[in-house]
Amino acid sequence: MEHLNENDRRSVIAEFYRRHMHLKKSFTVNHFFQMGISKRTTYSICRRVENGNSVERQVGSGRPARKMSQKKREALVNQSHGKLGVSLRKIGPKFKIDKKYVSNILKENNVKLATRKFAPKYSEKQKLEQKRKLRHLSESAFSPSNGTEIIIDDESYFTFDGSDTTNNKHFYCKEGEEVDDKVKFKRYKKFQSKLLVWLAISSRGHSTAFICPSGNSVNADIYEKQCIRSRLVRFIREKHSDGNFVFWPDMATAHYAAKVFAAYNELSIPFIPKDKNVPNIFCPHTLISNVQDLIDKERGKRNITDEFGWDDYHTLEEINIWLGAIAEQYHDKVTLLKGGSSYEGRPIVGVHVSFAPGNENRSVFIDANIHACEWISSAVATYILNQVLTSTDTNVREVAESHDWYVFPVLNPDGYVYTHLSDRTWRKTRVPYDDGCYGADPNRNWDNHFNEGGASDDPCSDTYAGPEAFSEPMTKSLSEYLLTIGHSLEGYISFHSYHQALLLPYGYTTDHLDNYDELYDVGLKAIDTLSQRYGTQYEIGNVAELMYIASGGSPDWVKGTFGTRITYTYELRDTGKYGFLLPAELIIPTAEETFDSIIRIFQEFAKKP
Ligand code: 0X9
Ligand code: ZN
């Protein structure tokens, strides 16, 4: 019997039984049992002979696939075409055939095996948002050049229900595209049994693990006590005692709960703020290269001048890249400028826009973000620059094209980067001073009635005037640049926030300057125009009268040095609800109304002798 193949062997048994049917079935069964054939097999063959069925080897308990009726084949194909739950494992037994016949029949009918996926975790919009935030992070907290170590926190779930079994990951279908998402993207059970393990990880190692066996989530209490205070702090003490690190918590509500937030601050743990965070999807040693890669790929594809928008605030790098791109795109009108440089060596980047050669003596200079935390100011400046170049409104075109424009969106680049990296509320420069304090107020540092009121001698104060006028590389170098173009300026507009006020020089005195009246009259018209779009109410007046004494500001130095006729400071939205943290969705309305008023100012002055 050994030399026979299985089907021949089964035929021999069947033939023997037919010949000995007059005897008991056990005779045949025992006969072959002696020869090593199981009693079960022989009994089964005997039954088949009695029933007139084929004795060839059967798959499961049904008929061989190739003998399936056309109707059944069709049923198999229909059942398999993109239907939920039709897996390799299930379909064979259902049709009482082997997996390989399933495969063959489906292949013959052009039904393909497709891979089941998890439902996508993020929408396309969310993915874009993540990339944008990663760019921000890579330029600030993750900047490889500052050597800051990143400590990520990671939680992994270990499941017990075999939901990762590969057999569950496929299904059959004719055209993958047509298949319902319910089938393509199968979600596993939402609350499956799992064990949660939490770790803080950096390139220097990891903390001890926190294992959460009973519950499936780590709430704010557990996170604060078990993860932050107990494990992260110890890990920092052991591996990051140099203090040059930033903690990147995984995005979760509990990780930014009030008590956790308080713990970060109390324990002096620098961390990525929630509004800048994205899920920390990379392991630390590949982090920088992956992020960079992502950024490079993203940058490579996009047209920066189309994509730079005003629905969110931008990093210094994004603003500067955009300025460069604008200069390239409008190369016949726009020149990229370096107006000076900062203490930390960053260029103060701006542009000069000129539509016609005769306009140089009607130049308008726009300064913004001299105070680092006043992000709306640079957003408005870039918006205005864009409008000057692209608006099709005839009133705008008339004003835009009858002037030259100098736009410097970020006068204080070190401070601006610092607001993205470490302290969103930072105002000053980043020059180190005594007592471990940093920075002078760049709007108190200009050489016009320097430190004559409304300024401080304390380096730790937010209005520290600096040790002397132009002590800050930023004000000094920019003033030197201004000396080269100051004579051509008709207007100097300085953007700050927040107060909703249009201010006239000077800041050191309540005395009115020579052309106070015309500036006031035109200013009144301008704030009226400003209010027309969204009803935003502005106040107008001399700095010292309307707000407070503030000596050594940039517009005051310009007015004092060049006598520039049109000199205003805008304190943009709002009046304190959000303050410096004006929500990004208010950028465009703020910029629109401000630009309306700027156009009005120059229209009004154009009418004057
Ligand atoms: O204090 C300032 O420097 C400005 N206000 S802010 O809240 N943005 O800090 C006012 C600037 C006044 N402008 C002149 N001195 N011309
Ligand atoms: Zn300011």
> SS3 of 534, please?
helix
Of residues 359 and 134, more confidence is placed in: 359
Which helix or strand (DSSP H or E) is residue 264 part of?
Answer: helix 258-266
Q: Please say if 224 is a catalytic residue.
A: no
Nearest to 371 by CA among 540, 507, 494, 508: 494
Query: How far is Cα 518 from Cα 526, in angstroms, rounded to an integer?
Result: 12
| Whole-number pLDDT of residue 188 | 46
Pocket residue to mutate for ligand 1, from 426, 447, 496, most atoms within 8 A of Cβ: 496
DSSP secondary structure letter of residue 228:
I
Judged against a pLDDT cut of 50, whether residue 190 lies above it is answered with no
Range 522-546 average pLDDT: 97
Q: Which two tokens stand for residue 140?
A: 């600030």
pLDDT winner (highest mean) among 98-102, 119-123, 591-595: 591-595
pLDDT digits (tens, 9 = 90+) for 449-458: 999 999 999 9
How far, CA to CA in Å, does 352 sit from each of 314, 386, 392, 430, 563?
21, 13, 20, 27, 21
| Whole-number pLDDT of residue 25 | 87
The CB of 507 under 6 Å from ligand 1? The reply is yes
Q: Which two tokens stand for residue 370?
A: 């001299």
Which segment of 330-344, 559-573, 594-608 scores lowest on mean pLDDT? 330-344
In sequence order, the 6+-apart residues with CB closer than 8 A to the CB of 386 are: 326
Pocket residue to mutate for ligand 1, from 369, 371, 441, most atoms within 8 A of Cβ: 371
Judged against a pLDDT cut of 80, whether residue 608 lies above it is answered with yes
Go through the chain and tell me how many residues it has.
609
Q: What average pLDDT does the structure give for the chain?
A: 84
User: Which residue in 374, 472, 490, 571 is the catalytic one?
Assistant: 571
pLDDT band at 120, cuts 50/70/90? low
Ligand 1, closest atom to CA 504? Answer: 16
Q: Is 110 left (phi over 0), alpha (psi -120 to 50) or beta?
A: left
The single residue listed with the structure tokens 């909703």 is 500
pLDDT digits (tens, 9 = 90+) for 363-415: 999 999 999 999 999 999 999 999 999 999 999 999 999 999 999 999 999 99
Query: How far is Cα 174 from Cα 186, in angstroms, rounded to an integer?
Result: 18
Of residues 347 and 182, more confidence is placed in: 347
Judged against a pLDDT cut of 80, whether residue 160 lies above it is answered with no
User: Omega of the bond prior to 578 within 30 degrees of 0, cis?
Assistant: no
Judged against a pLDDT cut of 80, whether residue 178 lies above it is answered with no
| Whole-number pLDDT of residue 32 | 86
The single residue listed with the structure tokens 């940093």 is 438
Judged against a pLDDT cut of 90, whether residue 596 lies above it is answered with yes
Range 287-302 average pLDDT: 39
Judged against a pLDDT cut of 60, whether residue 121 lies above it is answered with no
Q: Is 369 left (phi over 0), alpha (psi -120 to 50) or beta?
A: left
The CB of 80 under 6 Å from ligand 1? The reply is no
| Whole-number pLDDT of residue 583 | 92
Question: What is the per-residue burial (b if ≥16 Cβ within 10 Å, else e) of 398-421?
Answer: ebbeebbbbbbbbbbbbbbbbbbb
pLDDT band at 37, cuts 50/70/90? confident
Ligand 1, closest atom to CA 454? Answer: 1
* Predicted TM-score (pTM) of this structure: 0.56
Q: How far is the CA of 496 from the centre of ligand 2 (A)?
A: 4
pLDDT band at 9, cuts 50/70/90? confident
Judged against a pLDDT cut of 80, whether residue 279 lies above it is answered with no
Judged against a pLDDT cut of 80, whether residue 177 lies above it is answered with no
Burial of 582 (0-12, 13-18, 19+ CB in 10 A): buried
| Whole-number pLDDT of residue 286 | 32
Whole-number percent of the chain with pLDDT over 90: 50
Judged against a pLDDT cut of 70, whether residue 216 lies above it is answered with no
| Whole-number pLDDT of residue 117 | 59
Q: Give 583-598 as a DSSP string.
A: -GGGHHHHHHHHHHHH
pLDDT digits (tens, 9 = 90+) for 74-89: 888 877 766 544 566 6
